[in-house]
Homo-oligomer: A and B are copies of this chain.
Amino acid sequence: MTTRSMRRIRMAAVVAALAAGGAVAVAQSDSFDRLYAPIQPPKQIDLGKVELGKKLYFDPRLSKSGFISCNSCHNLSMGGTDNISTSIGDRWQKGPINAPTVLNSSLNLAQFWDGRAADLKEQAGGPIANPGEMAFTHTLAVDVLQSIPAYAREFKLIYGKDKIDIDMVTDAIAEFEKTLVTPNSRFDQYLLGNKQALTKDELAGYKLFNESGCVACHNGPNLGGNSFQKMGVVAPYKSASPGVEGRSAVTGKEIDRFTFKVPALRNVELTYPYFHDGAVWSLSEAVDVMGRLQLGKKFTPEENAQLVAFLKTLTGEQPVFQLPILPPSTEKTPRPRPFD
């Protein structure tokens, strides 16, 4: 199969997938704009859960050590990532994979690089109990929260029960995460009708992005996150984490080997380093690798610069909120165990 025919197939699949997902209308040949959509402010949000979830997101007592919170690796000061190749876990363990951004992650079709969690609520329980990450247990996490009167009252207010359970914990975290969207990027301003929002170079990059086939995988409101694709279509990717096999670990199917959820490109300027192994630090190099390995195309330096210029228009308004103040532990609270 030639790369051109592969590209046609992928584009057809995208259009079908988008139509099925109802995210946007089917693309017209003269306009790619319809393959994208502006980031929307979150709707149907439960603000009580958001405030509780915000505290939990910042609370390192959900880890065995008392040192690692959700925000440690999905740092909201830093594009919802840790800007490290692969994350640091309990006792400084080196994680196998790059921490994806939490920003706009509610738009993704599934969570984690391999999509093993259906949604944010399911995802939130993973790191807490992962021995390589927060290294705690759901039972102990709930025990910690239950031992803190201010938390116990807040859970009771919101969920109406005296006893906290892990479903409430992950539900509140997920509700907070739904608010972590980044609207009003310059690309969104362009999509909403301000055609002056992009410079000439950025528009040239956008055109290239569409016509070279980047859009085949990076489309929809999040420019990605809505399909699984093989990393290394035209040529194999030499991963810095060769043991990470991607989607096949979930489906058990050989065809899903080295297939990953397509990373969303929103705020990509902030979410370095790139790819599931976090091996590439510059957008320019990431564009080059993607062109060669996924599209069989070597972009010229000028094209590369235009694509990078376009990608930087995807940086939206970062979520701004007050750092939460956490209620103190009590004598009944299980103590952190950072060194045993």
Contact = CB atoms under 8 A, between A and B. Distances in A.
Interface of A: 58-61, 65-67, 72, 75-79, 82-84, 88, 91-92, 94, 269-270, 272, 281-282, 284, 318, 320-326, 328-329, 331, 335-336, 338-339
A265 B322 CA distance: 26
B325 A322 contact: no
Given A94-B339, A322-B320, A323-B321, A84 B66 contact: yes
B67 A82 contact: yes
Nearest to A67: B88
Which of A61, A66, A323 is most buried by chain B, counting CB atoms within 10 A of its CB?
A323
22 contacts: A65-B88, A66-B84, A67-B72, A67-B82, A76-B323, A77-B324, A78-B328, A79-B328, A83-B329, A84-B336, A91-B92, A92-B92, A94-B338, A269-B328, A270-B328, A281-B331, A282-B331, A318-B325, A320-B322, A321-B322, A322-B322, A323-B323
Contact of A88 (B269, B284, B338): B338
A127 to B, nearest CB: 15
Contacts of A72: 67
A324 B75 CA distance: 11
A339 B65 CA distance: 19
Cβ-closest 7 pairs across A and B: A92-B92, A318-B325, A77-B326, A282-B331, A323-B323, A270-B328, A91-B92
A60 B72 CA distance: 10
Given A65-B84, A66-B82, 19 more contacts: A59-B77, A60-B75, A60-B78, A61-B83, A65-B88, A67-B82, A77-B325, A78-B326, A78-B328, A83-B329, A88-B338, A269-B328, A270-B328, A272-B328, A282-B331, A318-B325, A320-B323, A322-B322, A323-B323
A19 B331 CA distance: 39
